[in-house]
Amino acid sequence: MEKLKSVEKLTDAFSKLPGVGHKSAEKMAYSVLDMSDEDVELFSSALKDAKRKVHKCPECGILTENDICEICSDKGRHKDRIIVVSYPKDVLGFEKLATYDGVYHVLGGTLSAVNGVGVDDLAIVSLLERIKRDNVKEVILATNPTIDGETTALYIAKLLESTDVEVSRLAYGLPMGGHLEYADSLTLSKALEGRKKI
């Protein structure tokens, strides 16, 4: 049977998406043929629009469609308190709490010898500049509780050692609602180490 080159190209494009194998990509490509011309047009421009409109906030690195993101441009938020995260999506969890009134700083990853991510690949210099410029009083390091996340947090903490900035790291311990029997030994030892008097 005739090879449909345009469908193959579309299949290739779909298969570059996360979690999409060749079979699913092919199914998706064929489903596009059944869409209305209008829907395909909308889909096609939605791709280009998202790529064109969304960029990192030049202040903090959060994804935004504005010049400066809504958090950085919010006058009600304290510029002298920064939560440092690795990725834009990590901000979401804190914002859902709706209790934090400071700002954020997105590093854009974690230091990693294995993946070849060095200090210059992360937004560390701009963090230091912000700290100085905005007279930041508190930095909360919220990189992931992994070896790389830990390394990154320790590196930044060391850079700020000689300053007056209060540097903290998120607490480690048992996740709420979890069961003790399922806790891995590293988490358990961290929970024991960080035990608090009640």
Please report, as ranges, the residues that interact with a copy of itself according to CB under 8 A. Answer: 1-2, 4-7, 9-10, 12-14, 16-20, 24, 27-33, 35, 37, 39-54, 62-66, 69-71, 89, 91-92, 95
Give min distance, CB of 127 to a copy of itself, in A.
Answer: 19
The smaller minimum CB distance to a copy of itself, of residues 97 and 180, is found at: 97
Q: How far apart are CA 10 and CA 12, in angstroms?
A: 5
**Tokens encoding 33:** 């043929």
Give min distance, CB of 112 to a copy of itself, in A.
Answer: 17
The smaller minimum CB distance to a copy of itself, of residues 56 and 190, is found at: 56
Q: Dihedral sign, CA of 133, 108, 88, 70?
A: positive
- Are the CB atoms for 87 and 106 separated by under 8 Å? yes
Q: How far apart are CA 135 and CA 101, in angstroms?
A: 16
The smaller minimum CB distance to a copy of itself, of residues 88 and 149, is found at: 88
The smaller minimum CB distance to a copy of itself, of residues 82 and 91, is found at: 91
Give min distance, CB of 30 to a copy of itself, in A.
Answer: 7
Give min distance, CB of 100 to a copy of itself, in A.
Answer: 11
Of 68, 67, 99, give the one whose Cα is nearest residue 83. 99
- Are the CB atoms for 108 and 88 separated by under 8 Å? no
